[in-house]
A and B are shown apart, each in its own frame.
Chain A
């Protein structure tokens, strides 16, 4: 297996040295694209990249070289984004709300403006989840239980000042309740804690509801309309809580990457997202495809910077 790959690699070595000299700085280099994932292998970002790769290969004739640079909830990777090569051969996944909230502490090693987004391709909406045999059957019962004993309900989530943490804080504020947020590393650990009855509930995304179907009950999802995978699960809006949000994922390039290359990448990701089979796989997995390309990104980033400044106050990140 290794030799097969090596053989291909040696052939690629020659192809690359020839192509490398010919390619101008205005187009994507004719080789595999280095795709840096700031999270652990097997997570949402990684699975999405793995599903994108075959479509990308069909469109461009090249694949991804996926690298994992983990730590600090993604900050370790994003702090190094602008030191990477700018020929368009390297890009990095990024997530919201992370890139808005982390820099507020002033210690994240990067500013939101340092991230140069190329495309945002998906949303995983927040979801409030309990175990299937939990006594809490509905969002009303959840709120009632929290009101009866403030702080006694424990809710697992991934990380501090993360998307899950934002969801917990926003919902508690909107519903006027108090719960205890218990951060874990990684979705797997939170699901274990939920199924093992270590915690009463879990803030995560619709994706967990899909993966753990039958073992968990999704109480509500933070979407405008119900998710096709959960036709029976209400949205928070239906229940009178105005919460439509989640984690968004996209790709960014180092500052200095030429504009035509960015537009080309953006167009490629638009085409990947438009692929019907890919789109269906995303929806089946609980994701919501999003299309925010180069044209819409400046306005999008400005709007979210404003919005998360408010949430930063709620979390106590900004005074």
Chain B
């Protein structure tokens, strides 16, 4: 996941190979499921699954046989990426329990921490904390009261 991946030109496209493998598994599963469908509901899944498996086999063959350049590996911090996904998952999971407002305030602040690269000064922290409150609160008001979307209720509202 480090930025060094870009330099080696002759490396095999292992992520591509993994993707092809996953697509073959998905196609196989679809074919298996389709066996219990009625004819009209099965024709499309079967066609798509077959095309997907064929293309994946070709791709896998090409990756294994011809040394290919690995697609650009993105630079940057893998840890922060993982942290962001974890925050997003926790945010969504907390919504039904804690309600939209509480979950979003916590999620918002956590995401701010993940996206922050330099330490906060007190003034910055105060300003951005207030901004976070205003943004979450503003969106909440617009959606719940302006657009009539009943958002999940919980700890705060």
Are any A and B Cβ atoms less than 8 Å apart in their complex? yes
The interface of chain A, by Cβ under 8 A from chain B, is: 2, 5-6, 9-10, 12-13, 32, 34, 65, 67, 90
CB of A65 within 8 A of CB of B150, answer yes
Interface footprint category on B:
under 10
Q: CB of B139 within 8 A of chain A?
A: no
Q: Which residues from A are CB-within-8-Å of B142? A: 6
- B146 x A2 contact (CB < 8 A): yes
Residues on A with C-beta less than 8 A from B149 are 67
Q: Which 9 A-B pairs have the closest CB atoms?
A: A9-B145, A65-B148, A6-B146, A34-B150, A5-B146, A9-B146, A2-B146, A13-B145, A6-B145
Q: Report if B131 contacts A (CB, 8 A).
A: no
Residue of A nearest to B146 (CB): A6
Chain A residues, CB < 8 A from B145? 6, 9-10, 12-13
Report the bound CA distance from A9 to B150 in whole Å.
13
Per-residue contact bits, chain B 127-156, to A (CB 8 Å; 1 contact, 0 not): 000000000000001100110111000000
Q: Which of A2, A9, A90 has the most CB of B within 10 A?
A: A9
Residues of chain B touching chain A, judged by Cβ–Cβ distance below 8 Å, are 141-142, 145-146, 148-150
By the criterion CB–CB under 8 Å, are B146 and A67 in contact? Answer: no
- Residues from chain B with a CB closer than 8 A to the CB of A2 are 146
Shortest distance between the CB of B101 and any CB in chain A (Å): 13
Give Cα A157–Cα B135 distance, bound, in whole angstroms. Answer: 47
Minimal Cβ-Cβ distance residue in B for A36: B150
Can you report 20 A-B residue pairs in the complex whose CB atoms are below 8 A from each other?
A2-B146, A5-B146, A6-B141, A6-B142, A6-B145, A6-B146, A9-B141, A9-B145, A9-B146, A10-B141, A10-B145, A12-B145, A13-B145, A32-B148, A34-B150, A65-B148, A65-B150, A67-B149, A67-B150, A90-B150
Identify the closest chain A residue to B142 (Cβ).
A6
Closest B residue to A32 using CB positions: B148
Q: Nearest-CB distance from A107 to chain B (Å)? A: 11
A102 to B119, CA, bound (A): 57
Q: Which residue of B lies closest to A64 (CB)?
A: B148
Q: Which residue of B lies closest to A16 (CB)?
A: B145
Q: Which residues of A contact B148 (CB under 8 A)?
A: 32, 65
